[in-house]
Homo-oligomer: A and B are copies of this chain.
Amino acid sequence: MSEKIRIGILGYGNLGKGAEASIQQQPDMELVAVFSRRSPESVKTVNPNTKVIHVDDAEKHVDDIDVLLLCGGSATDLPEQAPEFAKLFNTVDSFDTHARIPEFFENVDSSAKPNGKTSIISVGWDPGLFSINRVLSESFLPEGETYTFWGKGLSQGHSDAVRRIEGVKNGVQYTIPSEKAIERVRNGENPELSTSDKHTRECFIVAEDGADKAKIEETIKTMPNYFDEYETTVHFISEDELKRDHNTMPHGGFVIRSGKTGENTNQIVEFSLKLESNPEFTASVLVAYARAAHRMNKEGLTGAKTVYDVAPAYLSPQSNADLRKKYL
């Protein structure tokens, strides 16, 4: 590897910050700039040497950047940004609105392909690494069941929901996988499990002065869709405790394939993540896929791609000969 892969980051929230840190760990990459919609002076990067450029000027940097990481959100940013920037740059994004992925893929593909660019979409761990494990394990074990458990992890959507309740000053919600359900799956029982069978929910709530805590707890536990079908625990804590103990974004989960081979032989394949920071890990996955986007583009593999299209060797900084010698 003579020249480093030149990376740009578009969007500087938690994911963009994670990408900035991850690129520093990679031996064959350099961060060219962060692009932001905010005025560049107002963006405080973790590394003070990181260059910040207004997104309107991104087009001037097409020759300085090998891959642009799209670190915006899936709700409104990516559906607009990905097709736009895929015309100019190789891109990697973490679009995670599962139901809209086919449409998103087509939109990005029709931007990237005619412009000779490579865009790897929906990268991260779910969608991403979990998706790979679902497909691989089902390919090996066609007869069986695949189970996905999420957590222990902070759920942004559920945290928002509890914070909207009257009398709640602040709060967070964790999704917790059921140990009992995981054990049944690992034992090859192939149980039928709903999402609420597989998970419990735990809330840490800061109540406003004089609020009716019993009523808050009741409102949470009976909230339709969010909590009513789940075993839910509610803890009341102080604002200081919330800031001290609940200021990180842990997450993780398990994908377990329980299959049968031969006469009636149980075979269990399991992939799991235990992440102290969800955005930092997701960003680290995006950064490795940027290496793949760059290499695949150089080989003429253009258009929209997903993790299913990327051979493992494209993700590693090591040569194929070294991978065979040292890791096989």
Which secondary structure dominates chain A's binding surface?
helix
A306 to chain B: which residues have CB within 8 Å?
Answer: 320, 323-324, 328
B271 touches A275 (CB 8 A): no
Asked whether any CB of chain B lies closer than 8 Å to the CB of A226, the reply is: no
Is A271 within 8 A of B270, CB to CB? yes
B311 x A323 contact (CB < 8 A): no
A127 touching B328 in the complex, CB below 8 Å, given contacts A143-B25, A316-B135: yes
Instruction: Tell me whether A274 and B270 are in contact (CB under 8 A).
Output: yes
Contact with B along A113-135 (1 / 0, CB 8 A): 00000000010000101011111
**Is A300 part of the contact surface with B, judged by Cβ < 8 Å?**
no
Binds B, one of A62-70, A163-171, A203-211, A281-289: A281-289
Tell whether A105 is near chain B: CB-to-CB under 8 Å.
Answer: yes
A101 touches B324 (CB 8 A): yes
User: Does A21 have its Cβ within 8 Å of any Cβ on chain B?
Assistant: yes
- A298 CB to nearest B CB, Å: 16
**Set B102, B281, B327: member contacting A324, Cβ < 8 A:** B102
A291's nearest neighbour on chain B, judged by CB, is B139
Q: Is the CB of A267 within 8 A of B281?
A: yes
Contacts of A271 in B (CB 8 A): 133, 270-272
Cβ proximity bits A312-326 to B, threshold 8 Å, 1 near / 0 not = 110111101101110
The interface residues of chain B lying within 8 Å CB-to-CB of A277 are 261-262, 265, 267
Known contacts A268-B273, A271-B271, A311-B308; decide if A105 and B285 are in contact (CB<8 Å).
no
A18 in contact (CB, < 8 A): yes
A186: B residues at CB distance < 8 A: 274
The quantity of this chain's copies bound in the complex is 2
Q: Does A22 count as interface, using CB distance less than 8 angstroms? A: yes
Give 1 or 0 for each of A19-30: 1 = CB within 8 Å of chain B CB. Answer: 001100111000
Q: Is A276 an interface residue (CB 8 A)?
A: yes
A142 B315 Cβ-Cβ under 8 A? no
Q: Which residues of B contact A134 (CB under 8 A)?
A: 327
Residues on the B chain within 8 Å of A242, using CB:
none
Q: Of B21, B263, B315, which one neighbours A261 at CB under 8 angstroms?
A: B21
> A141's closest neighbor in chain B, by CB?
B284
A22, A101, A311: most-surrounded residue (chain B CB, <10 A): A311
The minimal Cβ–Cβ distance linking A84 to chain B, given in whole angstroms, is: 21
- On whether the beta carbons of A315 and B267 are closer than 8 Å, the reply is no
A223 at the interface (CB under 8 A from B): no
For A27, list chain B residues within 8 Å (CB): 142
Q: Does A182 belong to the interface (CB within 8 Å)? A: no
A interface residues with partner B (beta carbon < 8 Å) = 18, 21-22, 25-27, 98, 101-102, 105, 122, 127, 129, 131-136, 138-143, 186, 252, 261-263, 265-277, 280-281, 283-285, 287-288, 291, 306-313, 315-318, 320-321, 323-325, 327-328
A-B complex: 10 closest residue pairs judged by Cβ atoms: A308-B313, A268-B274, A261-B280, A139-B315, A139-B288, A127-B328, A311-B311, A265-B277, A265-B276, A25-B142
A-B contact pairs, 8 of them (CB 8 A): A135-B315, A261-B284, A266-B274, A271-B271, A306-B324, A307-B312, A307-B328, A310-B312
